[in-house]
Structure 1
Amino acid sequence: MFVLVVDTATPAVTAAVANLSGHGEMLSAQVTVDGRAHGELLAPLIRDALFEARADPSSLAAIVAGVGPGPFTGLRVGLVTAAAMGHALGIPTYGVCSLDAFAYGVWGPLLVATDARRKELYWARYEDGVRVDGPSVDSPADVPVSAGRTAGEGAQRVLGRPVDVLYPPPLGLVMLAADRIRAKAPSEPLTPLYLRRPDAVPPGQRKMALQ
């Protein structure tokens, strides 16, 4: 049971293929870190991941996509690509919070923080792999840092905390969707977690020139 995994919620553009026939294993993972080239990188990475796994699109049973939180443009690339492939291949798509992937299989307290730009962080807190707070977007001073493990490039670069994992691990993404995939649950709309309103706003009412 081959599953394609994609995530573009962070500067890491990720495409991977997993086999869920047994307990679940990653067959391939292609990751390139470039926060400005999600659109250019994702399709070639999907091709390479399928090739490395000796799979082809017709052999896929499902697609799992990280739904963020993440900046608008990069996140949209992954979700649109996953939705388009799912529609074209006639296979279901499933969404997973990208921050949750860090916590898969992690026991004890964990803080995950990724770069939200604008001097802010996306973050969530976990206990034994279960999210207990977030996801939210806040300034670094408002992120509840406490004792315990940390993950994510935001935790390392902005908060100055040691981390084991910088970007959403594809194994976590696919395993958090594994029960739904194996149960052949209905395909899910890939709703992005933007957590903030877009910059663009509707124009105000025009004033009459002769007023």
Structure 2
Amino acid sequence: MAEPLVLALDTSTTVAVGLARGGEVLGTAGVADRRAHVEQLTPLVQRCLADAGLRPADVDQLVVGLGPGPFTGLRVGIVTAQVLASALRRPWRGVCSLDVLARQHFVEHRDADDVGRAFVVATDARRREVYWARYDADGTRVEGPRVSAPGEVPRLPVVGPAADLYPDLLDGVLGPRTLDAGVLAAHGPDLPDAGREPLYLRRPDAAEPTRRKSVLLPRGPR
């Protein structure tokens, strides 16, 4: 029996799509614009499948990165995965996007001189904050994910998109700076299950008012 075809989506930072079968990456596609999630994700899925000579019906499983990340971007990726899984009648699972970067780092640098050292994966949370998680040398998450000021991140080697943003506060080292959706597709089924809820870690900027505003004009003196 052929290995299952896995379609992977992640919109925690950029827009990224990957395809893999049995651990072999068949294709990737991505857009670096963090504001183009809605417009770009579905066309990227179609292009990635077409370039590999495959159709949506060939997909056996979907994996989606749950973040942490900004509210709108995460919702686009997760809802798209839900819709595709429902339309194709295929299972889907969510993983922590930081775990994907940790797996990338372990795979790419397991033969490096600093192998055996714990490390941190950090991404940009804006507002002078970062999303981060701490990992053992083999890429197993042992703390997080969390959001905090860069100065509150453990003093360990740091990889990920935020590694170079705060050089005076984070010990950035050689390692991945962008999430590889091919790694997400190839290794996502084996990464820890993060459930199906987006990892916002903080409330969205837009919030419902806690109290109704009065539309009546104040009464003047009689």
TM-score (normalizing by structure 1) = 0.85
User: What is the aligned partner in structure 2 of residue 9 from structure 1?
Assistant: 12
User: Matched residue of 1:157: which SS?
Assistant: coil
Establish whether residue 196 from structure 1 lines up as the match of residue 202 from structure 2: yes
Change in Cα spacing, 1:100 to 1:179, as seen in structure 2 (3 Å) is closer
Give the ranges of 4+ consecutive aligned residues of structure 1 lying more than 6 Å apart after TM superposition: none
Instruction: Name the aligned partner's letter for residue 174 of structure 1.
Output: A
Partners of 1:28 and 1:13 lie apart in 2 by: 14
User: Matched residue of 2:60: which SS?
Assistant: strand
User: What is the aligned partner in structure 1 of residue 146 from structure 2?
Assistant: 136
User: What is the aligned partner in structure 2 of residue 76 from structure 1?
Assistant: 75
Larger radius of gyration: 2
Structure 2 residue aligned with 1:152, among 160, 166, 170? 160
Partners of 2:141 and 2:129 lie apart in 1 by: 20
Q: Is the CA contact 2:19–2:182 (under 8 Å) kept in the aligned structure 1? A: no
Q: CA deviation at 1:202?
A: 2.7
Q: Is the CA contact 1:71–1:116 (under 8 Å) kept in the aligned structure 2? A: yes
Number of aligned residue pairs: give it: 199
Establish whether residue 166 from structure 1 lines up as the match of residue 166 from structure 2: no
Q: CA deviation at 1:189?
A: 6.1
Q: CA deviation at 1:110?
A: 1.8
Structure 2 residue aligned with 1:125, among 110, 124, 134? 134
What is the aligned-residue RMSD (CA, Å)?
Answer: 2.3
CA-to-partner distance for each residue in 1:142-174, whole Å, 9 max, x for gaps?
A: 11132x3x2211112234623421122224423
Q: Is the CA contact 1:93–1:189 (under 8 Å) kept in the aligned structure 2? A: no
User: Matched residue of 1:155: which SS?
Assistant: coil
Unmatched 5+ residue regions in structure 1? none
User: What is the aligned partner in structure 2 of residue 110 from structure 1?
Assistant: 119
Q: Is the CA contact 2:132–2:146 (under 8 Å) kept in the aligned structure 1? A: yes
User: What is the aligned partner in structure 1 of residue 27 from structure 2?
Assistant: 28
Q: Is the CA contact 1:156–1:163 (under 8 Å) kept in the aligned structure 2? A: no
